Amino acid sequence: MIKSLRGMNDILSEEESKRFTYFIDIASKTASRYGFHYIETPLLEETALFKRSVGESSDIVGKEMYQFIDKGDNDVCLRPEGTAGVVRAFIQNKLDRAGGIHRFFYHGPMFRYERPQKGRLREFHQFGVESFGVESVYEDAQMIMMVADILRELGIGFKLQLNSLGCKECMPPYRDSLVNFIESVEKYICEDCKRRKSTNPIRVLDCKNEKCQALYEKAPKLINSLCENCESDFTKLKKILDENEIAYEIDTNLVRGLDYYSKTAFEFVSDNIGSQSAIAGGGRYDRLVEFLDGRPTPAVGFAMGIERLLELIQMPEESREGYYLGAMDDEAIELVISLTQKKRQTEKASCDYRARNLKNHLKSADKINARFCCVIGSNELENETIWVKDLQNKTEETISIKEF
Ligand code: HAM
């Protein structure tokens, strides 16, 4: 028997698919309320796009890409995340030259060749948003508020972790002082951190090795050496979050696993889903558009991991909806099918293709959570009527087919 690949799941059960579509619905409506519109970009892109944006030193590009040479000899890969493709589309369609503000949201599958475990898949789904053209830190605040709105509407509790990664003014001198510090403890750190020292030193700060973490407690903190502009923006961000009652913790080790960030970086985590606790992450990436050969354009965004959220969603109580139609006589079957077809043009409706007794029809209507169970037997057929039971209010009546 052929099975799905490791770390790649079907979304199949009715319960799971309801949760999935409910999430997409709430998140899309929220993003639209914030003035974002839907964008679709290809799942397959040139490998170079991710190397240049997510970064060659990141685990995602270094170890986790589904990369291959296609039949036309192109080096391509399945997207490991959504931001790079949206930025590519933004530049390719000359929106960087058009200027102005452009706000997008998207959802779909992403692919990372990771070691699968609970909450960590090789094919997973993200809901993400990207905003281009707004330099103000208040846009960063809007992003965070949007995630908070979505999570609250879904009844999901969260913790927000916040950091500033500085800009091209304050990051380089900080990086130098961090490298000096790493050299002073180099004998004791893990092999990964030794490698990171030369590829992307700030990534040592989120090393999962406990020994390394203990050593880095004494490392210099970027938050203490931000330039005036980054410092002022970070203060504004904290103030606006306070005013809007969004609690956060400052996590100076939050550096994110993708290389394109500057200034604001944030992650939403949940205590209720085990070790893979990050449910959303994002931040500002003011230099990425320029880096991918576009006109310099400030940008900020986030993405949420849908699979990690599914089991946390508090689903609203389902109310009965729509019509179930059934025949009690073979002669009534075709009329039942035609009436169902008519009802379906405006409402949810389904029918049984077999003639069955009333009890069975009522059971079937109840099973699909229909509001009305409507039945036609020989009497009704003769009188051109239909028997309708409202399963919510527990009332019943016989009405003319015309009226129905
Ligand atoms: P990310 O932090 O790599 O950011 O991913 C965002 C979210 O996707 C994570 O918080 C997590 O919930 C989910 N996720 C990541 N990897 C997996 C996995 N293997 N299995 C299940 N869920 C996973 C980004 O991707 C950035 N593009 C976010 C962004 C948008 N930044 C700016 N704009």
Residue 384 and residue 246 share a domain: no
In a domain, 292, yes or no: yes
Residue 383 and residue 246 share a domain: no
In a domain, 29, yes or no: yes
pLDDT confidence of residue 394: 96
Give the residue numbers of the binding site for L-histidine: 81-83, 112, 126, 130, 256, 260-261
Residue 297 and residue 327 share a domain: no
Burial class (CB in 10 A: 0-12, 13-18, 19+), 93: exposed
Residue 368 and residue 238 share a domain: no
- How far is ligand 1, taken at its centre, from the CA of residue 127, in Å? 9
- From the CB of 126, is ligand 1 less than 6 Å away? yes
Which CATH number covers residue 329?
3.40.50.800
Closest CA to 282 of 105, 49, 59: 105
In a domain, 80, yes or no: yes
pLDDT confidence of residue 206: 86
Residue 142 and residue 58 share a domain: yes
pLDDT confidence of residue 252: 92
pLDDT digits 0-9 by tens, 332-387: 999 999 999 999 999 999 999 999 999 999 999 999 999 999 999 999 999 999 99
Which CATH number covers residue 27?
3.30.930.10
Domain stops at, among 287, 310, 333: 310
pLDDT digits 0-9 by tens, 189-237: 999 899 889 888 999 998 889 999 999 999 999 999 999 999 999 999 9
Domain stops at, among 283, 310, 337: 310
pLDDT confidence of residue 306: 98
pLDDT confidence of residue 304: 98
CA–CA separation, 292 and 133 (whole Å) = 16
pLDDT confidence of residue 342: 97
pLDDT confidence of residue 257: 86
Residue 133 and residue 44 share a domain: yes
- Residues 160, 248: contact at Cβ < 8 Å? yes
Q: What is the mean pLDDT of the chain?
A: 96
- From the CB of 280, is ligand 1 less than 6 Å away? yes
Q: Which atom of ligand 1 is nearest to the CA of 258?
A: 3
Residue 377 and residue 250 share a domain: no
pLDDT confidence of residue 376: 97
Within its chain, how far is the Cα of 61 from the centroid?
Answer: 20
pLDDT confidence of residue 275: 87
- How far is ligand 1, taken at its centre, from the CA of residue 250, in Å? 20
- Residues 61, 67: contact at Cβ < 8 Å? no
- From the CB of 7, is ligand 1 less than 6 Å away? no
- From the CB of 123, is ligand 1 less than 6 Å away? no
Domain that holds residue 104: 14-170+226-310
Q: Which of 81, 113, 131, 161 to mutate to test the pocket of ligand 1 (most atoms within 8 A of CB)?
A: 81
Residue 162 and residue 31 share a domain: yes
Closest CA to 301 of 161, 139, 162, 60: 139
pLDDT confidence of residue 259: 87
Residue 295 and residue 330 share a domain: no
In a domain, 356, yes or no: yes
Q: Which residues of 310-331 are buried (b: 16+ CB within 10 A; e: fewer)?
A: bebbeeeeeeeebbbbbbbeee
* pTM summary value: 0.93
CA–CA separation, 106 and 83 (whole Å) = 10
In a domain, 187, yes or no: no
- From the CB of 282, is ligand 1 less than 6 Å away? yes
Residue 238 and residue 104 share a domain: yes
Residue 240 and residue 118 share a domain: yes
In a domain, 98, yes or no: yes
In a domain, 4, yes or no: no
% of the chain surpassing 90 pLDDT? 93
In a domain, 1, yes or no: no
Domain stops at, among 310, 339, 360: 310
- Give the strand pairing for 67-69 and 75-78: antiparallel
Average pLDDT on 165-183 reads 94
pLDDT digits 0-9 by tens, 256-295: 988 899 999 999 999 989 888 999 999 999 999 999 999 9
Total domains in the fold of the chain: 2
Closest CA to 82 of 113, 117, 52, 39: 39
Q: Which residue has the tokens 């059960």?
A: 13
Residue 327 and residue 305 share a domain: no
